[in-house]
Chains A and B, each alone.
Chain A
């Protein structure tokens, strides 16, 4: 039988070439992707989220997540994402109970859902800044650039103006303000197949421009590399840029960024309760497998077994290891 030709972007081979092994270090963060529904349908979205998606984390799975969090004190952070997680009917209950467990709760909030409301039910969602402040959650919000052109190109017409309004509302309840303790971090990601600018210099640009033009304050800017999967990969392939982008990621491989990949410190949970090494693997269906070959799930969460697992890598992992690195918390080196 003819063997399959080796991919030039084989991540495991890149690791071997650099004599790198990347075993899990701990599980400090449980990242919950609670719905793929979103009021937006961004061109780069690795989740392929949109108003038409229906996936929701079940009540039973939410209870299992909370039970795992209660049982494991060293899982200190709950990172709630989607889709737009606010569109999950149990979102507020989940946040309140995770907070009550003493966990640091991060909500990946797309800003515009405050203004748009629920695309299906048209329920208003303008009270989220007050809710977030009351729960003292950390808010992490995408804003691909500090000007409208790049932002609207990627996230849809009018998104920049709505995002600015939503940021003003978050500032008004204390988010991003000195001394409030309410953390508002923004996320930059490139509008095309290129690497992010240096995080510190771009953060300074964002802070200056957003304050001078709109009076907006925030805490940190996270630069995140676009992952060559799903909707963004389709765009790359259609425009004939996939190989060029992958070559760029491969050429920019940074061993220090590889050592700092986020999958070594977190577990991602999908709407069915299955477990993954990260949200990108989740979107590709690359489930964590138990030693017996079964898909690992939140219903039989086994911390020691998960810590002993072998992380599943693939071509897209080059996105997290290029240049200054990329993670849900921005650059890693």
Chain B
């Protein structure tokens, strides 16, 4: 494994985007970065620029206005990348399943690699999901996993 590939798995950078959820998962993601849970020990850093990111943490049932923003964020993130859908509403729409303006899940717009359960997802579950995403990133890094093309 080359230096770049090894460095990527040891220091994945996170982009967090909320697509219209209730904030519960968003504050738990932030809580992951703070002293009690501290995901920075895995070399992770929360950044604002999709062009620097490796892992996309997406929360919320995507709404119509956010759809294009989410698609654009995904396209701007360079390969290899992993998408983690945090929370029940990011997976299926959850409690917002019958709301008029929601699409019902991140996987309606971009391909998702890891789903994290919970409403709101607990920090432990988010860390679990991110560590799972790291394994997937390693596979993608070595060319073991093919990318889904287009949107579903």
Q: Do A and B bind each other?
A: no
